[in-house]
């Protein structure tokens, strides 16, 4: 599952990508996928800051 959205509030992130993966293997496959790397490269220069949070649900 993944979600993409825009915030209209000044003091929070303008764009957030939320992703949910079945396993660490699935996350690793996503992180190294050519299309993901392309988007990451395209958006990389247009951002001011980047925050990432990885957490595991038990």
Q: Please report the pLDDT score of residue 12 as a whole number.
A: 66
Helix-strand-coil split of the chain, %, nearest 5: 35, 15, 50
| In-domain check, residue 14 | no
Range(s) of the domain holding residue 35: 1-8+19-50
Q: Please report the pLDDT score of residue 33 as a whole number.
A: 96
| In-domain check, residue 58 | no
Q: Please report the pLDDT score of residue 1 as a whole number.
A: 62
| In-domain check, residue 35 | yes
Q: Please report the pLDDT score of residue 16 as a whole number.
A: 77
Q: Please report the pLDDT score of residue 17 as a whole number.
A: 81
| In-domain check, residue 26 | yes
Distance of alpha carbon 16 from alpha carbon 2, whole angstroms: 10
| In-domain check, residue 44 | yes
| In-domain check, residue 56 | no
| In-domain check, residue 27 | yes
Of residues 38 and 45, more confidently modeled: 38
Sign (positive/negative) of CA torsion 30, 8, 53, 20?
A: negative
pLDDT tens digits for 6-42? 666 666 666 778 888 999 999 999 999 999 999 888 8
Per the structure, the count of domains in the chain is: 1
């Amino acid at each position: 599952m993944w979600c993409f959205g825009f915030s209209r509030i000044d003091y929070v992130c303008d764009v957030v990508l939320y992703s949910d993966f079945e396993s660490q293997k699935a996350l690793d496959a996503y992180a190294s996928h050519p299309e993901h790397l392309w988007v990451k490269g395209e958006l990389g220069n247009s951002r001011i800051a980047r925050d990432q949070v990885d957490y595991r649900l038990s």
